[in-house]
Structure 1
Amino acid sequence: MTIPTIASYPIPTDLPQNRVNWLPDPSRAVLLIHDMQEYFLDFYDSAAAPIPTLIEHIRQLREACDAAGVPVVYTAQPGEQSLKDRALLQEFWGPGLTARPERAPVVAALAPRAGDVVLTKWRYSAFARTDLAERMQAWGRDQLIVCGVYAHIGCQVSATEAFMRDIQPFMVSDAVADFSLDRHLQALDYVAQRSGVVLDTAKTLACLRPAAAAETLPANPAALKADVAALLQIPASDLHDDDNLLFAGLDSIRLMSLIERWRRAGATLAFIDLAERPTLQDWWQLLEASQQG
C-alpha cells in the first residue's frame, strides 16, 4: 500500500487537556520541522486546508526560533533508498519516496537555510539512525518542539521517543497535518495524555517571544521562591526555604539559565556557588552578598 490521497479538513482548534504544564523555553528548546518534503505534501490539495495554514505556522515558528536563538532541525527522507534501508517500511508503504526521488526536497517556502541541521530520516522517529539526541545534548537542550507531517506517524513517534529520552516534547497542534481530522486529533490526544504537551502556534510563539523587559533580581525571598517555582513549573507553595532544589528537580540546564538571567541583572554568581548550597535560604544570602559586593 501507499499513502492515501488526503481530503481537505479543518485544523482542529479544540485542544486536548494536557497532563503536565510544561512550556517551551527558548534557552532549552529545539525546533523539529518533520518531513515537510514535496513528496509527502503531494497527497494533499496544496491550496486547501490544512496545507496553507500548516506552512504559514511553521514559517512563523521558524522565524521566532531564529530570533530567540533556538536551533532548527529538519528531517528529510533520502530520494534513493535501498531495500535494506527501507526494510519493514517497504511492506507497509511500498517504495515511498524512492518512486519519485525528484520530490525529495523540502517545500520551497520552508527550505532549510545555512546553519539549519538536516537529518537523513530512515524511520518514523527523528531519533532513529540519526545524531539528534547527541546534538541536543551538546547544545544543552532538553525540549523538542515538533511540527510537520504526518502527525500520527513520525511526529507522534518522535515526540514519544523524546519523552523516553527525558526530553520534553511539544506538539504544535496547528502546525502539524495528518491523513484526516480523526488521525490529527488522535495524535494530539496521545501526546497530551502520554508523552508531552500540545500547544497551538500562538501559545508557542508567545513562549518563544517573551515580552521585552530588563532583567531584574528577586526583590525578596518570596520573589526568589516564585522565580524558582516558575522555573520548576510547580506552585511556589510546594517549595520550602530549606528544600534541596536539586532534589526538587532543578537540573543543571535550568540552573544555568537562572544564573545567566541573574548575571544579566547584575549578580556575580557562579554555577558552583548555587550547586553547593542548593536551598532557597542559601540562595537568598548569596544574592544579597552579590548585590552588596
Structure 2
Amino acid sequence: MTIPSLPTYTMPLPSAFPANKVDWEFDPSKAVFLIHDMQEYFVSFYDKESPLIQTLLTNLVAVKRYCRQVGIPVVYTSQPREQNMADRALLNDMWGPGLNKAPELQPIIAELAPLEGDTVLDKWRYSAFQRSPLEHMMGELGRDQLLIGGIYGHIGCLMTAVDAFMRDIKPFMIGDAIADFSLPEHEMALQYVATRAGVVLSTEQLIGKNSQPAISRDALLAQIAKLVDEPVEEFDADENLIDYGLDSVQIMSLLTEWRKVGITLNFVQIAEVPTFNQWWAMIEAQQEGAK
C-alpha cells in the first residue's frame, strides 16, 4: 500500500525519446519550471547514489541554473508534513499515510533546495494544478508553457502535463530530468506526453549552448582569496589552501554552495588535492560534463 523500494535503471537517452506530435517552440519568456515532488521522502525510495538518481539530480540542477539565468520562474510541489486522513481521502487507499509516517523527510532535497524568489506549492493530488494557485500564478505572469521535471514520471509528472494541456498550458516534459518506478513506466510517460499532451525534450535540447558555467574561475578565485585574507594579485593558485588557513568549516560551506549548482565533489576529494588550481580542474571537468 506504500511506495515500494524502487530499482535503478538507465536514464533514457534523447535518441530513444518518442517523436513529438506537435512542433511547439519553447519560449523562455512564456515558461515556468516545475520541480515536481523532489522531497527527501519520495527520493528515499531510490538508492540516491545510483546512476539514475545522480543523472536526475545533475540534469535538474542544470535546468534550474539555466532557468535562473534566463528569468524562468521556478516552482516546486511539496506535500505538507502533516496531512489529515480525511484530506488525503483516496490517497490513503492507494498509498497509505504517506509523509505522515516520516514528517522529517518532508523538505526538498538539499541539491535542489528552493532559493530566494522560488515558489513552493502545497501538493495534494497527482496533478500540481489541483487545489493550488499554479494556473492563476501562471496567468498573472503571462506564461503558458510549463517545463516539468522530477518524480514520479508516470504519476504526478504525467498527470500534471495532461492537466496543463487541458488548461491550454503547453507542457514540456524533460525526458532525462524525470525518474520513475521503472523504465517501462518512464517510457510510457514520455510516449503519452509526446503523442497526446505536449512535447518531450532533453536537458541538452533545452539548455543548448545558452547556459553559462555556474561557477567561474575568476569569481571562485576572488572568493577563496577573500576567505584566506589574501589579495587576489598575491594569491598563489598552486599553494596548499590548508597552509593558507582555509579551515574545514569553510570547505564544507564551499561544498554546499557548489552542490546547489551541480558540482558534486566531496570533502575527501578536495582534501587530497588542496590547491586552487586542482580544485578548479575538478570543477571545470564537472561543468563541462554537464553541457
TM-score normalised by structure 2 residue count: 0.71
Mapped to 2, the partners of 1:187 and 1:207 lie a distance apart of 27
Match of 1:91 in 2: 93
Give the drift of 1:84.
1.5
1:203 aligned to 2:205? yes
Mapped to 2, the partners of 1:79 and 1:88 lie a distance apart of 18
**For 1:10-66, what per-residue CA distance to the aligned partner results, in whole angstroms no more than 9, with x for missing partners?**
001110010001132111000000000000011100111310010110000001000
Aligned residue among 30, 33, 36 for 2:32: 30
CA RMSD of aligned residues (A): 1.2
CA contact (8 A) 1:36 1:149 kept: yes
Match of 1:122 in 2: 124
Match of 2:3 in 1: 3
Mapped to 1, the partners of 2:122 and 2:86 lie a distance apart of 15
SS in 2 for 1:148: strand
What amino acid is aligned across from residue 10 of structure 2 in structure 1? P
SS in 2 for 1:50: helix
Mapped to 1, the partners of 2:86 and 2:71 lie a distance apart of 38
Give the drift of 1:207.
8.6
Mapped to 1, the partners of 2:84 and 2:125 lie a distance apart of 13
1:12 aligned to 2:25? no
What amino acid is aligned across from residue 190 of structure 2 in structure 1? L
CA contact (8 A) 1:30 1:145 kept: yes
What amino acid is aligned across from residue 47 of structure 2 in structure 1? D
Mapped to 2, the partners of 1:123 and 1:172 lie a distance apart of 21
**For 1:182-239, what per-residue CA distance to the aligned partner results, in whole angstroms no more than 9, with x for missing partners?**
11001000100110000010001129659xxxxxxxxxxxxxxxxxxxxxxxxxxxxx
Give the drift of 1:159.
0.5
What amino acid is aligned across from residue 199 of structure 2 in structure 1? V
Aligned residue among 63, 67, 71 for 1:69: 71
Identical aligned residues as a percent: 53
CA contact (8 A) 1:191 1:197 kept: yes
Mapped to 2, the partners of 1:3 and 1:51 lie a distance apart of 17
**For 1:53-112, what per-residue CA distance to the aligned partner results, in whole angstroms no more than 9, with x for missing partners?**
101100000010001000000000011000111010000000111110000000000000
Runs ≥4 residues deviating over 4 A: 207-210
CA contact (8 A) 1:25 1:207 kept: no
Mapped to 1, the partners of 2:208 and 2:25 lie a distance apart of 10
Aligned residue among 151, 154, 161 for 1:152: 154
Q: 1:197 to 1:207 in 2, by over 3 A?
A: farther
Aligned residue among 46, 49, 66 for 1:47: 49
Aligned length, in residue pairs: 210
Match of 1:176 in 2: 178
Mapped to 1, the partners of 2:202 and 2:25 lie a distance apart of 12
Mapped to 2, the partners of 1:172 and 1:207 lie a distance apart of 17
- Larger radius of gyration, structure 1 or 2? 1
Mapped to 2, the partners of 1:209 and 1:20 lie a distance apart of 25
CA contact (8 A) 1:24 1:207 kept: no
Match of 2:59 in 1: 57
SS in 1 for 2:72: coil
CA contact (8 A) 1:10 1:181 kept: yes
SS in 2 for 1:27: helix
CA contact (8 A) 1:23 1:207 kept: no
Match of 1:285 in 2: none
Mapped to 2, the partners of 1:25 and 1:206 lie a distance apart of 13
**For 1:237-278, what per-residue CA distance to the aligned partner results, in whole angstroms no more than 9, with x for missing partners?**
xxxxxxxxxxxxxxxxxxxxxxxxxxxxxxxxxxxxxxxxxx
**Unpaired runs of 5+ in structure 2?**
213-291
SS in 2 for 1:91: helix
Match of 2:268 in 1: none
Mapped to 2, the partners of 1:208 and 1:95 lie a distance apart of 43
Q: 1:206 to 1:15 in 2, by over 3 A?
A: same
Mapped to 1, the partners of 2:189 and 2:84 lie a distance apart of 30
Mapped to 2, the partners of 1:192 and 1:29 lie a distance apart of 18
Mapped to 1, the partners of 2:139 and 2:199 lie a distance apart of 21
Equivalent positions of 1:105-254 (< 5 A) are 105-206=107-208
